[in-house]
Structure 1
Amino acid sequence: MIEKLYESYDDNNYYVDSNKKKLAHDNLAVVGGMLTFFLVLSVLFVAIALAFGNGINPYYDFLPGIGVLIILSFVYFKIINKRSYDFRITRIITLIIYGLVILTFSIADLFIYRQSRAVFFPVAFIIFSVLYIDYFRVRLFFQIIVMVIYLSVDFKLKTGMNFTYDVTVAFLSLLASSFCYAAMISMSLSRHEDSQQLVKKSETDLLTGLLNKVSFEEKCDEYLSKKLAGAKCTMFIFDLDDFKDVNDKYGHQTGDKVLKLFSEILKGYFHPDDLVGRIGGDEFMVLVLGDMPDGYAERRCRSVLHELKTTQIDGASGITCSIGIAEDTQRLTFKELYEKSDKALYKAKEGGKARYCIYGVEE
């Protein structure tokens, strides 16, 4: 039951966010229809009661309710309906009107059926909660006000178990609506966390936890497209030297450990805001966002090379990598920046590996 309510709540929130202007207009139209319907129904009810009942007593107690409906209808059609409101104001206006209608007829019900338990109020209270389940705080505030006024009148008119019953049912109705809201929010948060986990899994490399090739390129494209002309960024390509030999000699498990270690080295030497990804079997990329101090790229490369070479994993040691670097201040695309850093990487490989090379910088 709660699952179905949540799905309805979630779909409702999505629809509301996408159609606020239309819903504001529709909400006011529904209120106008509701006022007209209740007004006609109430007049017919009293007329039929007078025609076939035992006189106007006790049905005259509906006359104040009809009077309130007439006043609300006049205010709606002469003032509210002739103006345009945003979604939030519209929701509050309709909430107030619904609350007044519920309160009016609940009190009329109390006057007519003083010797029996209330039925109209708890039913209307629950329906009211369902209509505004996504508007919890404001709705709860109005619910408490309506309930206090209603129970105050109930206390004056009823005694003994009937009053106790009405109080109990009113509070249970309030708690039930709050419980449903809390349950759906909890499920919403849980699903949001699950959704975030799925997004994370789809974007990351399962072995290293870095961005995978597709998500790395997408995030680079997004950043580069928004980068202002003149702003600097730097792309690094890291390629492990002779990594196939590590797999052949020490096994793929050791090879996987090397890849995990190297990903940790990269995360340790670059800022958390920089983009770090594994784009191939033994190929990694980093996009440094923003300017860097003089010599930063060179120092980082030397540190990465040193730590990788001096670390031993399952007997494998002396592992090296080649690094290609390209800098951009001209709003290059990802493809253009990649091609430059890849040329620098090729030059580093040709120069003997275990070294770095910056595109456009002659050694």
Structure 2
Amino acid sequence: MDTIDDNNLYMLRKSCMYISIVYIFMLTISGFLLDNFHVSLIHLSPVPLLVIYLFINIYTLKNKGQISTAKTAAICCTFYFFLGVILAAIDIFEAPAGQAIWLPIAVIALPMLFIDRTYKYCFEEAVVLSILLIFSYIAKPIDGFIRDLYISICAYVISFISARIILEMRARETLSMKEVTRLSALDKLTHVLNKNALIEHMDCYFEKKKPEESCAMCVIDLDDFKYVNDNLGHSTGDMLLERVGQLLIENFRAYDIVGRYGGDEFVVVMPRMSDENILHSRCTALQMFIGDINLGGEHRVTASIGAVIGSGDLKRETIFSLADDALYKSKIIGKNCCTTWVIEDDIVDRDSLLIMSKEKHEAVARLFEEEGKRFHVIHAANDDEALRVVSRYHDQIKIIMIELDIDEGLGVFAIKYLKQRESFAKIPVIAVVNTKKAEAYAKELKADDILAMDLPDEEFHNAVTRLSGR
């Protein structure tokens, strides 16, 4: 509908411009060619209409693409209706003894200027022609009225036929353009959206999405795709990508946004998805189907997935970055893994300290109280929660304190991830340990500082001050 509305408003602007030019020209030459011609008030009646629509056209031009279909129809129909009434008045009152001609010509021309449904054309034209015939019946003798009735019927029939032909041609043209647009938006190998079309569709969705509506985004990356290209050949790699594209089309909903972001990476946006369990099931099912792809050798095809669910006013760039961070976690775990996060839309507008500990025990509570004076303090109970928080608020987080427990594996993966992920590597990490073994492992993981758990609170405060610069 946007294209039709834009076309109607464009043709309205052109009509006003050309009508103004032609009308001035005809008034000028009429004085030379017609005897006893003089300009009357009826001849000047189109001027106020054209002046008003000059300002309306400026408004529509400034707000291009933002005017609703109903408003577009009202703007265009109002102009053409009043123009028809004016032409009817000129036909009847300026040449009472002559044949009505200007309004019938305008009726025939209307389908070329304004796109509408056929039954609406019939109604709109019937109204203005009825006005013409009422004027004619009142002001002309019966034979003049009959001639006007005859030419009105002819103009009405010709307009109806031309409207049908023009609408059919425009419909075919629109379908052809839609097909061309659809094909140009598809990746030729995988038959899902290409990168440019994918970003355009995602931006359009996130602009229109209501804040309370949840959605999910999945970033899917084929593991060891370079091995496939290098050892099994590029034709095999292309076949794999084509098959994955087919699986994505088959396994996601028709209104989900599915595209190839580049290389062997695909993105899926799932509107109105709020259940983490369903999302995880969808992703693991897709991994299973991808694993069933047979490349004719011993290589097993796998895929890593990062998926997030978010709501609120999250932008496309933000939710993509979160999904990409979740994907990186899946890659570090060992590939063929799926990481799903539910993202909170809480606003953090000050420098933050993230504390990761198994329990929010007394020492952590004291840290919350003490450091809360200069930081927004966030607590995470495990590695996955800590990484989700860092991914969401990495611009605000100035320092991270992680409890490292080798026996339970607590904190090991989080520190490893943070130091390997380039976008997070500059955030200082303090490892809190309770054994020499844990201390040695923290050094191996390249923690920025290592503190024993039983140190006085002042030592923690000093370490936070030193590393955060506050």
TM-score between the two structures when normalised by the length of structure 2? 0.51
Which SS does the other structure have where 2:266 is aligned?
strand
**Could you tell me which amino acid in structure 1 is paired with residue 109 of structure 2?**
V
**Could you tell me which amino acid in structure 2 is paired with residue 361 of structure 1?**
D
Which SS does the other structure have where 1:278 is aligned?
strand
Could you list the per-position Cα deviations for residues 35-85 of structure 1 after superposition, in whole angstroms to 9, with x for gaps in the alignment?
99989998717xxxxxxxxxxxxxxxxxxxx9xx98x849969x999x999
2:170 corresponds, among 188, 191, 194, to 188
Which SS does the other structure have where 2:203 is aligned?
helix
Quick check: 1:361 aligned with 2:387?
Answer: no
Q: Given that residues 236 and 341 in structure 1 are in contact (C-alpha distance below 8 angstroms), is that contact kept between their aligned partners in structure 2?
A: yes
1:197 corresponds, among 179, 186, 204, to 179
TM-fit CA distance, 1:191: 2.6
Distance 2:245 2:156 in 1: 53
The structure-2 alpha-carbon separation of the partners of 1:157 and 1:76, relative to structure 1 and needing over 3 Å to count, comes to closer
The structure-2 alpha-carbon separation of the partners of 1:42 and 1:128, relative to structure 1 and needing over 3 Å to count, comes to farther
Distance 1:13 1:73 in 2: 27
TM-fit CA distance, 1:207: 1.9
Partner of 1:15: 10
The structure-2 alpha-carbon separation of the partners of 1:261 and 1:16, relative to structure 1 and needing over 3 Å to count, comes to same
Which SS does the other structure have where 1:108 is aligned?
coil
Which SS does the other structure have where 2:113 is aligned?
coil
**Residues 312-351 of structure 1: pairs in structure 2 closer than 5 A:** 312=294, 318-329=300-311, 331-351=313-333
**Could you tell me which amino acid in structure 2 is paired with residue 44 of structure 1?**
N
**Residues 260-299 of structure 1: pairs in structure 2 closer than 5 A:** 260-299=242-281
Partner of 1:309: 291
Partner of 2:97: 108
**Could you tell me which amino acid in structure 2 is paired with residue 310 of structure 1?**
D
Distance 1:80 1:291 in 2: 51
Partner of 2:430: none
Could you list the per-position Cα deviations for residues 328-350 of structure 1 after superposition, in whole angstroms to 9, with x for gaps in the alignment?
34633333333332222222222
The structure-2 alpha-carbon separation of the partners of 1:17 and 1:328, relative to structure 1 and needing over 3 Å to count, comes to farther
Higher relative contact order (CA 8 A, sep 6+): 1
Which SS does the other structure have where 1:318 is aligned?
coil
Q: Which moved more, 1:218-227 or 1:285-294?
A: 218-227
Quick check: 1:95 aligned with 2:84?
Answer: yes
**Could you tell me which amino acid in structure 1 is paired with residue 125 of structure 2?**
R
**Could you tell me which amino acid in structure 2 is paired with residue 205 of structure 1?**
D
TM-fit CA distance, 1:188: 2.2
Which SS does the other structure have where 1:256 is aligned?
helix
Q: Given that residues 326 and 358 in structure 1 are in contact (C-alpha distance below 8 angstroms), is that contact kept between their aligned partners in structure 2?
A: yes
**Could you tell me which amino acid in structure 2 is paired with residue 95 of structure 1?**
G
TM-fit CA distance, 1:287: 2.0
Q: Given that residues 189 and 242 in structure 2 are in contact (C-alpha distance below 8 angstroms), is that contact kept between their aligned partners in structure 1?
A: yes
Could you list the per-position Cα deviations for residues 265-301 of structure 1 after superposition, in whole angstroms to 9, with x for gaps in the alignment?
2233322222211111211111222342241122112
The structure-2 alpha-carbon separation of the partners of 1:126 and 1:270, relative to structure 1 and needing over 3 Å to count, comes to same
TM-fit CA distance, 1:241: 1.4
The structure-2 alpha-carbon separation of the partners of 1:323 and 1:19, relative to structure 1 and needing over 3 Å to count, comes to same
Partner of 2:125: 139
**Could you tell me which amino acid in structure 2 is paired with residue 129 of structure 1?**
I
Partner of 1:44: 36
**Could you tell me which amino acid in structure 2 is paired with residue 97 of structure 1?**
I
Distance 1:203 1:293 in 2: 30
Distance 2:268 2:226 in 1: 22
Distance 2:328 2:234 in 1: 26
Q: Given that residues 111 and 166 in structure 2 are in contact (C-alpha distance below 8 angstroms), is that contact kept between their aligned partners in structure 1?
A: no
**Could you tell me which amino acid in structure 1 is paired with residue 113 of structure 2?**
D
Could you list the per-position Cα deviations for residues 124-147 of structure 1 after superposition, in whole angstroms to 9, with x for gaps in the alignment?
744652367436432356458868
Q: Given that residues 195 and 259 in structure 2 are in contact (C-alpha distance below 8 angstroms), is that contact kept between their aligned partners in structure 1?
A: yes
| Structure 1 residues without counterparts, runs of 5 or longer | 1-8, 46-65, 110-119, 159-165
| Structure 2 residues without counterparts, runs of 5 or longer | 54-73, 115-120, 342-382, 386-412, 414-470
**Residues 8-87 of structure 1: pairs in structure 2 closer than 5 A:** 13-16=8-11, 23=16, 44=36, 73=42
Note the aligned Cα RMSD (angstroms): 5.0
The structure-2 alpha-carbon separation of the partners of 1:80 and 1:348, relative to structure 1 and needing over 3 Å to count, comes to closer
Q: Decide which structure has greater strand share.
A: 2
The structure-2 alpha-carbon separation of the partners of 1:235 and 1:206, relative to structure 1 and needing over 3 Å to count, comes to same
Which SS does the other structure have where 2:270 is aligned?
strand
Q: Given that residues 277 and 285 in structure 1 are in contact (C-alpha distance below 8 angstroms), is that contact kept between their aligned partners in structure 2?
A: yes
Distance 1:197 1:156 in 2: 50
2:109 corresponds, among 130, 133, 158, to 130
The structure-2 alpha-carbon separation of the partners of 1:337 and 1:126, relative to structure 1 and needing over 3 Å to count, comes to closer
Distance 2:126 2:227 in 1: 68
Q: Decide which structure has greater helix share.
A: 1
Distance 2:156 2:77 in 1: 23
Q: Given that residues 246 and 316 in structure 1 are in contact (C-alpha distance below 8 angstroms), is that contact kept between their aligned partners in structure 2?
A: no
Distance 2:332 2:10 in 1: 58
Q: Given that residues 211 and 278 in structure 1 are in contact (C-alpha distance below 8 angstroms), is that contact kept between their aligned partners in structure 2?
A: yes
Partner of 2:448: none
TM-fit CA distance, 1:235: 2.0
Distance 1:256 1:218 in 2: 25
